[in-house]
């Protein structure tokens, strides 16, 4: 049994070696994706164009403005006076945010009376607006109170403390999702294509006339891709740590264990697809639709599940990446143990079990 | 070594194989002759345990095909119609993989690899990618891959498709050698010259077994001298006339000529005269020994007439 699995694995590895395009895609794509998400598609917002309406014109009010500018997120684009109304600056996109300091700001501060400053945001891009709001809140909370030795109260009720990712860097948030994405793609697509390729070429027919069992063939085929996917994942994690300072706080052993579990489900799904599809093209499309897109859209990778419509939220429960990503975030970013993420792990076990069972039933029936 | 009793397989309404029965002796070269879609491949797939018979039964190497396919699979070699090697792997890598599927490894593998190199003449090219080899070599390599575990029975499904005549001849020399060593060879083909090299031939048409015997016996359905070869002008039009002549049982094209099956060789003269009088001159008529193709065409005609009648 073991030797026949190995014979298949050796063959698959040789084929992968000769088919350098696929090998390159499997190993190179994660790096490219990581670069894209890490640099280009970053949700971090910097150089926010700020308009300043300083009606106080005092030493105190200038210190507030300075605090914003020194944070590195904001650049001052306009000093607003009566000659140019604020809404004009917003509509022609000269500024994205405005800071309004009332004329009695300094006097109220020195009198130790409650005062407020106004922060106006261009909300057309909700994602950016949210991020900027987060920065503003953080600056007010952490800087301004100290300046005057006063207590700062935001006008809205919210906890301004951000744990685990205090700088709200999106790379830290995205890396676990990216790992899930890479693993899903290489496991589902690569496995389904590897099996369907044999069907398309007719070699499956010859294989079926040999004593090799379906399970031996499948394991033999899955192993190399498991290996490649693991190398990819480890590489991505290393790059994320080296380039984007993603902290790895938790145990690597747990990380590997949960990852293998997730991969098992992905491989099972790939095999299941290969029992349905007769051509590589169809297998590719089915894999794309059933694994890549849900992993991208319905797993909380990019779009938070909590802000999805109810129907979609229910749908996310059958997307394994959802559990994997949240377990991964718990392990990598929070460094917590299984007592926290065991429900996600249980969900992954159930998923892998069901999918592998389905795949085996389909395979056996075909023989 | 291989037997079938009333073997039948349907796909929906379509009867691909219709109550086929036969018996193959050890060491025999058993040919299945028929056009595409006659059901040859379906029979092989059932015997190899790749397809469940709808009804009927069969045994291969003493094991029931319906229940003991695992035992059968380790005792047969199978070369499917489709190319069964990996083009992007080398000769050596292909041999190693296919040997692995049959539990042939270690010292035994080294031994069998030597044998395969000898048989295929590929020893010097064992590092070549299979995709770069000429068709004849690939065919011989595919055969050796199916024989690495020394199966007593080998099923070859149209093994020489798309291969040049010289390579086909070499391939059949290998089949003769196997048979001499006692290996049972079950081979399908639609080449008549290949069928002539089989010990016994089964004629298959539309799922049915029309005839089964040695080539010499099969040819005896014709009385001596009862097949005439007619060479004339405009054979396409002459065919209808020939069929209607008295004493002609059947007529069919055979290359550029017409082969006519007649009640007695003596009517050759009459045929020549009547064709010449109808403007098909010059006409040459001579008796020829029946070919397997004559037998095949005759059998199909008889089967179809029988169905109509």
Least confident of A18-22, A78-82, A88-92, A261-265: A78-82
Residue A151 confidence (pLDDT): 59
Structural domains present in chain B: 2-219 (3.40.50.300), 227-289 (3.30.70.100)
The alpha carbon of residue A216 is apart from the nearest alpha carbon of chain B, in Å, by 10
Q: Is the dihedral of CA A314, A320, A322, A324 positive or negative?
A: positive
Q: Is A365 part of the contact surface with chain B (CB cutoff 8 Å)? A: no
pLDDT at residue A158, rounded to an integer: 36
Task: Kindly report the average pLDDT of chain A as a whole number.
Answer: 82
Q: In Å, what is the CA distance from B20 to each residue of A257, B16, B39, B54, B198?
A: 55, 11, 10, 12, 19
pLDDT at A147: 62
Say yes or no for a CB contact (<8 Å) between B79 and A205. no
Instruction: Determine contact, residues A352/A265, Cβ cutoff 8 Å.
Output: yes
Residue A283 and residue A332: Cα distance in Å, rounded?
33
> Beta A97-101 vs A48-54: how paired, if at all?
parallel
Most B CBs within 10 Å, among A14, A202, A211, to test the B interface: A211
Region A159-165: mean pLDDT is: 47
Q: Please judge whether B96 and A18 are an interchain contact, meaning their C-beta atoms are less than 8 angstroms apart.
A: no
The CATH superfamily holding the domain A48-148 is: abc type-2 transporter like domain (3.40.1710.10)
pLDDT at res. A165? 56
Q: Are B152 and B184 in contact (CB under 8 A)?
A: yes
Higher pLDDT residue, A125 or B86? Answer: B86
Count CB atoms within 10 A of the CB of residue B56: 19
Q: Nearest to residue A9, comparing CAs of A294, A224, A293?
A: A224
With an 8 Å Cβ cutoff, are A211 and B74 in contact?
Answer: yes
Task: State yes or no: pLDDT of A168 exceeds 50.
Answer: yes
Q: Which of B41, B71, B97 to mutate to test the interface with A (most CBs of A within 10 A)?
A: B97
Of the candidates A11, A201, A202, which has its C-beta nearest B97's C-beta? Answer: A11
pLDDT value at residue A148 = 62
Say how far apart CA A99 and CA A117 lie, in whole Å: 7
Name the residue ranges covered by the structural domains of chain A.
Answer: 2-41+169-366, 48-148
pTM recorded for the entire structure: 0.77
**Statement: residue A15 has pLDDT above 60:** yes
pLDDT at B135: 87
ipTM value = 0.84
C-alpha angle A319-A40-A297 in degrees, rounded to nearest 5: 15
The predicted-structure confidence for A197-227, as pLDDT tens digits, reads as follows 998 888 988 998 999 888 888 888 888 888 8
């Amino acid at each position: 049994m073991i030797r026949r699995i190995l014979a298949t694995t050796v063959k698959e590895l040789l084929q992968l070696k000769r088919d350098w395009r696929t090998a390159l895609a499997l190993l190179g794509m994660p790096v490219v994706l990581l670069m894209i998400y890490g640099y280009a598609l970053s949700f971090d917002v910097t150089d926010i164009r700020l308009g300043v309406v300083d009606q106080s014109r005092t030493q105190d009010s200038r210190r507030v403005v300075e605090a914003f500018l020194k944070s590195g997120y904001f650049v001052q684009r306009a000093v607003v006076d009566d000659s140019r109304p604020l809404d004009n600056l917003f509509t022609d996109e000269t500024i994205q945010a405005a800071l309004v300091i009332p004329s009695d700001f300094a006097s109220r501060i020195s009198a130790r009376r409650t005062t407020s400053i106004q922060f106006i945001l261009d909300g057309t891009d909700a994602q950016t607006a949210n991020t900027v709001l987060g920065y503003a809140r953080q600056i007010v909370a952490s800087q301004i109170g100290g300046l005057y030795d006063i207590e700062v109260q935001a006008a809205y009720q919210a906890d301004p403390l951000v744990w685990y990712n205090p700088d709200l860097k999106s790379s830290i948030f995205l890396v676990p999702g990216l790992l899930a994405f890479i693993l899903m793609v290489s496991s589902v697509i690569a496995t389904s294509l590897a099996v369907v390729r044999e069907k398309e070429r007719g070699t499956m027919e010859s294989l079926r006339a040999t004593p090799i069992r379906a399970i031996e063939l499948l394991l033999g085929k899955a192993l190399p891709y498991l290996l490649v996917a693991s190398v990819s994942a480890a590489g991505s994690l290393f790059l994320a740590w080296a380039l984007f300072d993603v902290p790895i706080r938790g145990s690597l052993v747990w990380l590997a264990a949960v990852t293998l579990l997730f991969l098992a489900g992905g491989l099972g799904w790939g095999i299941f697809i290969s029992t349905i599809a007769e051509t590589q093209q169809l297998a590719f499309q089915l894999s794309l639709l059933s694994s890549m897109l849900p992993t991208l859209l319905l797993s909380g990778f990019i779009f938070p599940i909590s802000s999805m419509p109810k129907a979609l939220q229910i749908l996310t429960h059958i997307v394994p990446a959802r559990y994997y990503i949240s377990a991964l975030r718990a392990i990598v970013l929070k460094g917590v143990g299984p007592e926290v993420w065991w429900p996600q792990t249980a969900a992954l076990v159930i998923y892998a079990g069901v999918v592998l069972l389905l795949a085996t039933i389909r395979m056996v029936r075909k023989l | 070594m291989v037997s079938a009793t009333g073997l039948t397989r349907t796909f929906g309404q379509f009867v691909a194989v219709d109550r086929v029965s036969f018996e193959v002796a050890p060491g025999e070269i058993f040919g299945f002759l028929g056009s595409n879609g006659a059901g040859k491949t379906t029979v092989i797939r059932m015997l190899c345990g790749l397809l469940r018979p709808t009804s009927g039964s069969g045994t291969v190497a003493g094991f029931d095909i319906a229940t003991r396919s695992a035992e059968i699979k380790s005792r047969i070699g199978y070369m499917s119609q489709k190319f069964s090697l990996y083009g992007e792997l080398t000769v050596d890598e292909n041999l190693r993989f296919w040997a692995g599927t049959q539990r042939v490894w270690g010292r035994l593998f080294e031994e069998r690899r030597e044998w395969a190199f000898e048989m295929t003449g590929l020893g010097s090219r064992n590092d070549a990618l299979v995709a770069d080899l000429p068709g004849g070599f690939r065919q011989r390599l595919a055969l050796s891959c199916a024989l690495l575990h020394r199966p007593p029975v080998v099923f070859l499904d149209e093994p020489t498709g798309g291969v040049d005549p010289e390579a086909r001849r070499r391939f059949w020399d290998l089949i003769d050698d196997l048979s001499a060593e006692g290996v049972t060879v079950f081979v399908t083909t639609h080449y008549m010259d290949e069928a002539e090299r089989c010990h016994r031939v089964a004629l298959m048409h539309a799922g049915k077994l029309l005839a089964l015997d040695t080539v010499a016996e099969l040819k005896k359905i014709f009385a001596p001298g009862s097949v005439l070869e007619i060479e004339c002008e405009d054979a396409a039009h002459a065919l209808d006339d020939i069929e209607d002549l008295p004493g002609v049982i059947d007529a069919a094209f055979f290359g550029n000529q017409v082969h006519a099956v007649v009640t007695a060789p003596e009517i050759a003269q009459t045929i020549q005269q009547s064709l010449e009088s109808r403007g098909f001159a010059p006409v040459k008529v001579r008796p020829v020994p029946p070919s397997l193709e004559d037998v095949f065409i005759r059998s199909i005609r008889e089967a179809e007439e029988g169905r109509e009648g």
